[in-house]
């Protein structure tokens, strides 16, 4: 059941990402999509986010926490780390570092996003700058990791 919930969360995250990409790509020819980092960088996705986190502890039922906080920090020019707030019941979730890319639609400063690199084994990371939303779903990469999914907004 844990995997079904995670798959559902990841499907939802990917769907949101595809909607954002579709909305950007359906703009007029006056504002073509111009991927790159000359208008900004992945730092737009850093900060504290508040929302709902679901923690998937092995051999237990998934636990959902509301008003949860995660902190996103920049590790390098192409990596962001997501860490659940310490001292909370959901802090058992394993922090995860994602390889990410920044993209924007030329002439539309609100249409910026930071997303995981396709095929990333660590899971999914989607930040939409327009509504300051973050969707994350981690994948277990070692036996001692605890997966989590998070949906929330920047504070």
Q: What is the pLDDT of residue 116?
A: 98
Q: What is the pLDDT of residue 7?
A: 53
Q: What is the pLDDT of residue 106?
A: 76
List strand residue ranges (DSSP E) for the chain, in order: 47-56, 63-76, 79-84, 96-105, 108-116, 123-128, 133-138, 147-154
Q: If you compute the radius of gyration of the chain from its CA atoms, what whole number of angstroms results? A: 16
pLDDT < 70 positions in the chain: 1-39
Residue range 36-64, pLDDT digits in tens: 444 579 999 999 999 999 999 999 999 99
Q: What is the pLDDT of residue 111?
A: 86
Residue range 136-147, pLDDT digits in tens: 999 999 999 999
Q: What is the pLDDT of residue 5?
A: 54
The CA-atom distances, in angstroms, between 43 and each of 56, 74, 90 are: 28, 7, 25
Q: What is the pLDDT of residue 25?
A: 44
Q: What is the pLDDT of residue 10?
A: 52
Q: What is the DSSP letter of 33?
A: B
Q: What is the pLDDT of residue 107?
A: 73
The domains of the chain are located at 44-154
């Amino acid at each position: 059941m844990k995997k079904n919930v995670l798959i559902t969360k990841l499907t939802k995250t990917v769907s949101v990402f595809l909607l954002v990409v579709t909305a950007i790509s359906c703009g007029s020819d006056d504002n073509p999509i111009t991927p790159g980092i000359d208008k900004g960088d992945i730092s737009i996705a850093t900060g504290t986010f508040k929302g709902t986190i679901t923690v998937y502890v092995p051999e237990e039922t998934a636990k959902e926490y509301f008003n949860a906080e995660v902190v996103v920090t920049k590790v390098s020019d192409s990596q962001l780390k997501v860490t659940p707030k310490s001292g909370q019941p959901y802090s058992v979730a394993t922090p995860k570092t994602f390889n990410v890319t920044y993209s924007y639609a030329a002439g539309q400063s609100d249409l910026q996003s930071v997303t995981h690199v396709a095929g990333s084994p660590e899971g999914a990371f989607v930040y939409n700058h327009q509504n300051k939303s973050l969707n994350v779903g981690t994948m277990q990469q070692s036996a001692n990791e605890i997966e989590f999914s998070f949906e929330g907004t920047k504070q």
